[in-house]
Structure 1
Amino acid sequence: MTVDRATPAEGARLRRPRWRDPRLLVGLVLVLASVAGVVALLTAAQRTQTYWAAARDLAPGSPVDAAAFVPAEAQLGDVAGLYLSTDRPAPAGQVVGAVVRRGELVPAGVMAPVDPARRRPVGVALAEPLPTGVGVGDRVDVWAAAPKKDGRGHQPPERLAAGVEIAERSEEAGGLGGTATTRLQLMADEELLPRLLDAKTSDARITVVPALGEG
């Protein structure tokens, strides 16, 4: 009678791995590490932060109180620093430099302290680029060309004010290779403010030039 017996090599191959087998332990560690990494990524992607949002439409140049802001949850990723976080108190007592619609997050650069001379920052987009070297603290003359009534072009420009201080300058890249737009925050006094706001709402072409003898 013949009896089949497994050779020692076959027995070793068929033997179940023990839980103390180093290869099994390494495999378990790798699986657990992979699961932990996926969980961490999902948690980070879903993590939100609280920012200040406008409780109502905020108009340029208008002072605001704490009731003008409400907390709002958002996940902004790399652009989180561009908006006001509730880590700091709401900017009550400051003025708004650009339109912020109700429910929109408040950009970090749109609020400014009340000026001792009672000037207010007003944001404008320029029709022409600024000369190199002109920036914050410099003074410029502000010109505006109102659109013609027939909608074809603009009227000759008129000077709105002289020696207006620049409070902020930024560049906005144009889409699809377009020309970049220069945006300024201009410190407008009580006389200039309504004229500048009227130029903005009427789609006038606003241009600034360095003021002679100012700096």
Structure 2
Amino acid sequence: METRRSTGEELPKPAARRLQRPSWNDSRLVAGVLLVLVATIGGAAALRHYDSSIEVLQATRPLVPGQQLHDSDLRPVKVRIDRASSTYLGADEALPKGEVLREVRTGELVPRSAVGSGAAVHSKAVAVPVDSGQVATLVKGSVVDLWVSRKKTGETGRDAYDAPDRLLQRAVVARVPSAGGGFSVASDSGAVHVLVPDENIAEVLGAINQGAKVDLVPAAGSPLKGS
């Protein structure tokens, strides 16, 4: 068999190619950067398009029937709720004229239906003298049941009272006395102001004026001081 003899000549070696840094002249690099930019811009546009959140107003303190709204009572918050703009007061709108028609607790969104003409408020704030110990836990917006113990008639000497009778259920506290205020029937500066429906005002005032003992019992779930 014939074999090839070495001639002493070396076979050609392939030349090594140096890796080059990509430059802006590289069309592939430019195309990749453009694709990233397009994806980023498109994603941001899609998020803006599908972001249904709007700013509405939230109560920063309890709102009670009969009071007027002020900027300090409210703050804007972003929400994602169907038909929120038609249901709640918008943050980009002027505050509506009128008065609060129903209780709105701290942190709740303010419904448009909760503000309107004062003629629609059918309750009045009545000064109720109570023991100072009862006031310690009450705040504006507390919800209470009003109980009275009427004086017994015909009794001599020491005052005697009938069994307690509940006159009001789930009444809203409109104002509580400041620290150090008194609690006398003669002066309402230290009394708790409770919103009483118009049809019950005469009965509540009659009990107070006749010297009945009045107790305000917080209802279940009522806002209280420190809670």
Shorter-chain TM-score range: 0.3 to 0.5
TM value normalised by structure 1: 0.40
Instruction: Decide which structure has greater strand share.
Output: 1
Which of the pair has more CA radius of gyration?
A: 2
